[in-house]
Structure 1
Amino acid sequence: MLSYVSGTSDQPLLYQTVGATLERAAERWPARDALIIPQQNIRWTWRQLNDEADRLARGFLSLGLKPGDRIGIWAPNRVEWVVTQFASAKAGLILVTINPAYRLSELEAALNKVAARALVLAPSFKSSNYVEMIRQLAPELGTGGARDLKLARLPHLRSLVLMGDELVPGFIAYDSLLRDADACGDLQQLATQLQPEDPINIQFTSGTTGLPKGATLTHHNIVNNGYFVARRQRFTEHDRVCIPVPLYHCFGMGMGVLGCTTHGAAMVFPGEGFDPLAVLKAVDQERCTALYGVPTMFIAELDHPEFASYDLHSLRTGIMAGAPCPVEIMKRVVAQMHMREITICMGTTEMSPITFQTEPDDTLERRVSTVGTIHPHVEAKIVDANGRVVPLGVRGELLTRGYGLMQGYWEEPQKTAEAIDQDGWMHTGDLVILDEAGYLKVVGRSKDLIIRGGENISPREIEDFLYLHPKIQEVQVFGLPDQRLGEIVAAWIKLKPEMECTVEEVQHYCRDNISHHKVPKHVSFVTDIPMTVTGKPQKHIMRKMMVERLGLQDDRAA
């Protein structure tokens, strides 16, 4: 049998726009909770959320924005983010989601790359003062009006919408845009022109290597992926989902917002950014039935000093995604957080994003050793270096295709062609094994494999072993250049609170249990591990730092 699977379902694909999805939720569950954001005192029903989205959509039209125009959003998790997501969709705009952590050069490159005509932004987040950063990019702000900007370094940008009601020269106050735009534009007429295949979102891939590319996604892509991710968790309008992951990524805005909208489940955003205590409070106070996060988030919640003070018995399900789940962490999530039906997901931004997910009643073993089975209406195959499909149980690269496949990287046809072949298969770069039951096991990234003296070493195998050490909280294993062997094994380790450990102790622990060539030669104890927003470890950064620290010669590009 060859390593190929296709997802079947008794539920056909939805064929509707993002705006229509919200309209239907407001019609089906008008008085039920839709959006809860404690720090902003927001508790809106589906009808209220739809009304707010309509008002903002008219506001966008009043700025002269037209269907197909790109509008950026640069903000943490706030009510305005969710409203902007739906309002831009109703106005036919393409929402460009920008990492709140971006610095000036990154912001400038992102906005110019997609020729964004407007930017919705928060005043600040953490140590970033967004208003001052924009002024550095555009010192001419405030010398003229705010409705038709002409900025030298941002030549396409015409409007800056600042969240809140403060009047700042050069910026349009978000609240005033809502107040002044009630009579602008015929949204019903516009809705008849919008198509599910229209592009609706540009997601900058947060990948572990290289410069970000703009994955262009359609209504059809993200509405359906959100729907089927939530359906596998068996969501209904009685569920309440705690979403501490960032909105600017598919995990927050797709799997989170659209998954809830297609099923009528309430969205609970515990804070602007991730705070484990805020998550615990929100789950307790709002009686959340589901919780989303990456493994590091769940670890932080479990290890919080006040963890035992909160009642989490309302939890049933949720998603852990972004990186492999250590066995011990999954055991604690099920036992201590009562998430007996938690699911594991895997995917890529280019597939909108999820392609594999475990079932709520899968065994603990399957949840930690696999990423589940294929999603409905999606195909996957595993190929060798020559592009030939391998037999079941044989390692190869994962290729996927289906309704979730992006239109392409924004104005980068060459990079699109490198990622998607002529038969429509997305080449993920993930090394995987498919078993006879259709469960997929991820064994690493093709670029992460360590080749030591001609032997292929999987970092994941060593990481899984080191997670069993009683003092280790998090670990990442990667290769370092070596003149004699080609590469050698290195590990970054974050210890559990109040724990102390030595390099020799780690190496001795390994020597007694795994092959000698897999024992890390270099071990660094760290307080933080660089991650992408989706919880993927940025091993190229760790490698670069270690190469510089050790004075090694590295011929491989980061």
Structure 2
Amino acid sequence: MSVDLPDLLPAALRRAWAADGTCPDLDLYSLYRARRIAHPERTALVDAEGALTYAALDDRARRLAAGLAGLGVGPGDVVGAQLANGRDAVAADLALAALGAVALPFPAGRGRREAVSLLGRARAVAVIAAAEHRGDRHAAELLGAAGELPALRHVVAAGPGPVPEGAVALSALLECDPAAFRPERPDPDDAARILVSSGSEAEPKMVAYSHNALAGGRGNFLGSLLPDGRAPRCLFLVPLASAFGSNGTPVTLARHGGTLVLPGHFTPDAALAALAAHGPSHVLGVPTMIRMVLDRIARGGAEPFPAPTAVVVGGSPLDAATAREARRVFGCPVVNLYGSADGVNCHTGLSDGPPAAPGPGIVAGRPDPRVADIRIAVPDVPGLREAPRGAVGEIVARGPMTPLCYVAAPELDARYRTGDGWVRTGDLGVLGEDGTLRVVGRLKDVVIRGGANISPAEVEIELAAHPGVRDVVCVGVPDALMGERLAACVVPRAGALSLAELCAHLDGRGLERGRHPEHLLLVEELPLTPAGKPDRAALRERCAGQGPFARAG
């Protein structure tokens, strides 16, 4: 039995956005197929194996869809995909869309426990997983977990490495006849993809999106960054299987007919090689990735590359110092994207425009109603009660990109969705008089030191302004006396940094001493999760083993 994925947004709103052209009102595969017919020889993707045209990728996707149909996969079925960036991941996206199935991608590198949780809660009937990825054997792990997944009927092993006994080889499915396959035509407002959000819950949240929400709402976001209307050439440093990566197949290819540049596993050298070799129009990454690339360029020896149209940075707060340096080094606008799988998007755009009025937090631009309307609500009040203009409150969003619902989690729907479809983000923000959104922090992402709340995001923003700080993440570490204390994990630019020096800097920035970090961990680079974000859990564990804390004033 397929998982129930009700749409919690009023149907009249969905239909209005389709009627006025805000959403294309076509399923993702039909959109892609139209691009393939119009431009069959256009390059669809470039990965470690080379380039594939729209026609060649379509042939691969139809073969895979025919093979999956032969396994019994059909409309409404959820199929997981744990694949690295490359042609197999993109073909799987398109094949599942053509079947009318629901794709559940999650990054390669995530462990067995989390994968089993995702597949089990979504009642996935099949999963396409890497036979071998950087030492992990995902297909074998999931095959071994089949007893915990009663709905799972097939494990498909992809890529190099031995195919475990009992799994189906992806290569065998690709031998099917593409001409014998007839695509489904799902309702554009039906579920197409499940995005995985880390969130603050014990298990990752899953959020269901329709074809229209992806190609329409999220597609309009990327469309606003195409100044001349030409098809984009997008270098994805983040996994296509992440929420940020959902701007890949559904948006870059299906909606805009562009090209995906996929260097595989992220390293600064691989990113720079892709920039030089393929001249992407847009670079998409998280701030830590961009800082690592900037640091590699500063060390010298990198090949020159043409200036992109934009560097699009999301996934975590982007500080002003990194934005300035990236703008200078890349020679193009740096777009700060505030967004999440839960259904919110706001970005600063290609034009710097007049400077925003001073205020707290980080500027996230002006909300675009063709993507998501954004309001500020009074926190912890049932329904939606808007806060006065200029007041800090919870960011809520509703618009063409709004997801259907949380997957198999009615308690999350009750907590984060209002009766008329607004999404409560759990983020704190403020809308200025000029309509500019500033993101201040998280309602729940606080360190509680002796009963006082400290926002790690607020401290990170101030520390990032120190000239000796390349990158920084602040985490709470358990403490027997105070409950928690704040630790700063810093990648220095050069030379040594001391906790006293950083606290003196915070004094100069006006941050009260009770919010200063009491521990400093210097690292050469921040560890990243499989989704490409800083691994706060790993940093918290390292800090917990570093010994006694300094005492803040």
Asked whether the two chains share a fold, i.e. TM above 0.5, the reply is yes
Equivalent AA in structure 1 for residue 399 of structure 2: G
1:506 is matched with 502
2:463 is matched with 466
2:426 is matched with 429
1:177 aligns with 2:186: no
2:263 and 2:369 mapped to 1: Cα distance?
31
Q: Which moved more, 1:399-408 or 1:60-69?
A: 399-408
1:246 aligns with 2:239: yes
1:210 is matched with 202
Q: Which moved more, 1:445-454 or 1:82-91?
A: 445-454
1:36 aligns with 2:46: yes
1:77 and 1:360 mapped to 2: Cα distance?
27
1:337 aligns with 2:333: no
State whether residues 127 and 154 of structure 2, in contact with CA within 8 Å, keep that contact through their aligned partners in structure 1: yes
2:135 and 2:354 mapped to 1: Cα distance?
40
Residue 490 (structure 1) shift: 3.3
Cα 1:500/1:44, change in 2 over 3 Å: same
Cα 1:107/1:456, change in 2 over 3 Å: closer
1:441 is matched with 438
SS in 2 for 1:491: strand
State whether residues 375 and 397 of structure 2, in contact with CA within 8 Å, keep that contact through their aligned partners in structure 1: yes
Amino-acid identity (%): 26
1:21 aligns with 2:15: no
Equivalent AA in structure 2 for residue 199 of structure 1: A
Which structure 2 residues correspond to residues 151-550 of structure 1 after superposition, within 5 A? 151-164=146-159, 168-182=164-178, 184-187=180-183, 190-191=184-185, 194-234=186-226, 236-254=229-247, 257-271=250-264, 273-304=265-296, 308-339=301-332, 341-351=333-343, 354-363=344-353, 369-377=362-370, 378-385=372-379, 387=381, 388-450=385-447, 457-479=454-476, 488-496=485-493, 498-514=494-510, 515-529=512-526, 532=529, 537=534, 539=536, 542=539, 546=543
Cα 1:196/1:257, change in 2 over 3 Å: closer
1:556 is matched with none
1:141 is matched with none
Cα RMSD of the aligned pairs, angstroms, is 3.0
1:227 and 1:256 mapped to 2: Cα distance?
11
2:219 and 2:167 mapped to 1: Cα distance?
36
TM-score by length of 1: 0.85
State whether residues 32 and 257 of structure 2, in contact with CA within 8 Å, keep that contact through their aligned partners in structure 1: no
2:130 and 2:480 mapped to 1: Cα distance?
49
Cα 1:167/1:380, change in 2 over 3 Å: closer
Residue 551 (structure 1) shift: 8.1
Q: Which moved more, 1:225-234 or 1:362-371?
A: 362-371
1:169 and 1:479 mapped to 2: Cα distance?
44
1:84 aligns with 2:80: no
Residue 532 (structure 1) shift: 5.0
2:468 and 2:334 mapped to 1: Cα distance?
26
2:188 and 2:525 mapped to 1: Cα distance?
41
State whether residues 28 and 254 of structure 2, in contact with CA within 8 Å, keep that contact through their aligned partners in structure 1: no
Residue 535 (structure 1) shift: 5.5
Residue 36 (structure 1) shift: 1.2
1:349 and 1:33 mapped to 2: Cα distance?
28
SS in 2 for 1:207: coil
Residue 269 (structure 1) shift: 0.7
State whether residues 72 and 119 of structure 1, in contact with CA within 8 Å, keep that contact through their aligned partners in structure 2: yes
State whether residues 76 and 100 of structure 2, in contact with CA within 8 Å, keep that contact through their aligned partners in structure 1: yes
1:69 and 1:239 mapped to 2: Cα distance?
31
Deviation per CA, 1:172-196: give whole Å up to 9, x if none. 2212212134354432xx32xx111
State whether residues 477 and 544 of structure 2, in contact with CA within 8 Å, keep that contact through their aligned partners in structure 1: yes
1:49 and 1:16 mapped to 2: Cα distance?
20
Residue 27 (structure 1) shift: 2.5
State whether residues 364 and 439 of structure 2, in contact with CA within 8 Å, keep that contact through their aligned partners in structure 1: yes
Residue 399 (structure 1) shift: 0.9
Equivalent AA in structure 2 for residue 291 of structure 1: V
Count of aligned positions? 521
Cα 1:87/1:411, change in 2 over 3 Å: same
Equivalent AA in structure 1 for residue 191 of structure 2: P
SS in 2 for 1:297: helix
Cα 1:542/1:216, change in 2 over 3 Å: same
Deviation per CA, 1:118-144: give whole Å up to 9, x if none. 111222111212244345x25xxxxxx
Q: Which moved more, 1:239-248 or 1:206-215?
A: 206-215
SS in 2 for 1:309: coil
1:213 and 1:375 mapped to 2: Cα distance?
25
2:175 and 2:439 mapped to 1: Cα distance?
51
1:276 and 1:73 mapped to 2: Cα distance?
26
Residue 254 (structure 1) shift: 2.7
Structure 2 residues not aligned, in runs of 5+: 1-16
Residue 212 (structure 1) shift: 1.0
Residue 287 (structure 1) shift: 1.6
SS in 2 for 1:433: strand
Cα 1:548/1:424, change in 2 over 3 Å: farther
State whether residues 231 and 256 of structure 2, in contact with CA within 8 Å, keep that contact through their aligned partners in structure 1: no
1:90 and 1:76 mapped to 2: Cα distance?
21
1:265 and 1:318 mapped to 2: Cα distance?
16
Residue 225 (structure 1) shift: 3.0
1:80 and 1:255 mapped to 2: Cα distance?
13
Equivalent AA in structure 2 for residue 357 of structure 1: H
State whether residues 188 and 210 of structure 2, in contact with CA within 8 Å, keep that contact through their aligned partners in structure 1: yes
Cα 1:454/1:122, change in 2 over 3 Å: closer
Cα 1:487/1:389, change in 2 over 3 Å: farther
Aligned mate of 1:75, from 72, 83, 89: 83
SS in 2 for 1:355: strand
Cα 1:241/1:385, change in 2 over 3 Å: closer
Cα 1:132/1:55, change in 2 over 3 Å: closer
State whether residues 308 and 331 of structure 2, in contact with CA within 8 Å, keep that contact through their aligned partners in structure 1: yes
Deviation per CA, 1:14-56: give whole Å up to 9, x if none. 211111110121133222222111x112x12222222322222
